[in-house]
Structure 1
């Protein structure tokens, strides 16, 4: 099974316009988004013009949503990572998620299956800031309860393209 079929199977993406070369471009950019089209063309054995046009197409199709820097949060003082399960009254989840997502400490908000309705991943510099955040969440209308887990050790945290 080639990379194309793996992505189609795993993500059910509309990959009709993508081929293995597009997947390779995504793979290289997810490791180092600062690579130039020229560097990519040498690595992948295609012209710079081809690389540029394929990247533009991937951006237009919103497969590439943007470019960013991967930060070392611990070195920036954000030593506390919290995984917060939230149970809500049905029908108000989207409003609650949007409210929580506005907070700068929030890294991710996910709808989930199971006892909780959503999970929030957030990073904090102090326990006091975490405590304030939990109290704010608990005060949001239609939040029934929260369950907070603190990360003791990060084994892997990555946002590269999955193969």
Structure 2
């Protein structure tokens, strides 16, 4: 089966093929790119001791396999004018995840959406300029989605991005 046929199969069934296994070099490449998403292919290749062509092929494979979902900047939301942040938990109508997810993706300031287990169904992280905007988002936008049964808002007082190059705490 060709790569094009596999892609068509995935599109038709909605099921992704399992990712190819990662070796130590792949994991080192991921660690480097997590720390510095702007690292050049040359720099990555030198740091993992492979040729530029090999590093380029590995990064492309990691992108194709959707191990790498994209490249971006880590933002200090407060300094970027988004001083109010909250985790919002949602209880939703059973089997409505896909519909709700599509609507949540359209929300201004939504930066992370997760389907979870436990006392609620969805965990949503949002950033807003101020509490008034955050309140409007919850009371007007979220609670007007028919499949959303209830919400709970947890204000974020302070947040810290974890450094991927730092060793885990003992």
Q: Same fold (TM over 0.5)?
A: yes
3-state SS in 2 of match to 1:30 = helix
The 1:65–1:48 alpha-carbon spacing in structure 2 relative to 1, beyond 3 Å, is same
Contact kept? 2:19, 2:65, Cα under 8 Å:
no
The 1:159–1:117 alpha-carbon spacing in structure 2 relative to 1, beyond 3 Å, is farther
Root-mean-square deviation (CA, aligned residues, Å) is 2.1
The 1:125–1:47 alpha-carbon spacing in structure 2 relative to 1, beyond 3 Å, is same
How far the C-alpha of 1:161 sits from its partner, in A, is: 8.4
| Corresponding residue to 1:20 among 21, 24, 36 | 24
How far the C-alpha of 1:55 sits from its partner, in A, is: 1.1
The 1:93–1:50 alpha-carbon spacing in structure 2 relative to 1, beyond 3 Å, is closer
Asked whether 1:104 is paired with 2:108, we answer: yes
| Structure 2 match to 1:122 | 126
| Contiguous gaps of at least 5 residues in structure 1 | 1-12
The 1:161–1:113 alpha-carbon spacing in structure 2 relative to 1, beyond 3 Å, is farther
Asked whether 1:142 is paired with 2:147, we answer: yes
| Corresponding residue to 2:161 among 152, 157, 162 | 157
Partner Cα separation in structure 1 for residue 163 and residue 149 of structure 2: 31
| Contiguous gaps of at least 5 residues in structure 2 | 1-17
Partner Cα separation in structure 2 for residue 71 and residue 91 of structure 1: 34
Contact kept? 1:26, 1:161, Cα under 8 Å:
no
How far the C-alpha of 1:160 sits from its partner, in A, is: 4.4
Partner Cα separation in structure 2 for residue 53 and residue 130 of structure 1: 43
Partner Cα separation in structure 2 for residue 159 and residue 134 of structure 1: 31
| Structure 1 match to 2:97 | 93
Task: Kindly report structure 1 stretches of 4+ aligned residues shifted beyond 6 Å.
Answer: none
Partner Cα separation in structure 1 for residue 134 and residue 85 of structure 2: 9
How far the C-alpha of 1:115 sits from its partner, in A, is: 1.6
3-state SS in 2 of match to 1:150 = strand
After superposition, give the CA deviation of every residue in 1:97-120 in whole Å (9 maximum; x if it has no partner).
Answer: 210121121011111111211111
Partner Cα separation in structure 2 for residue 82 and residue 159 of structure 1: 21
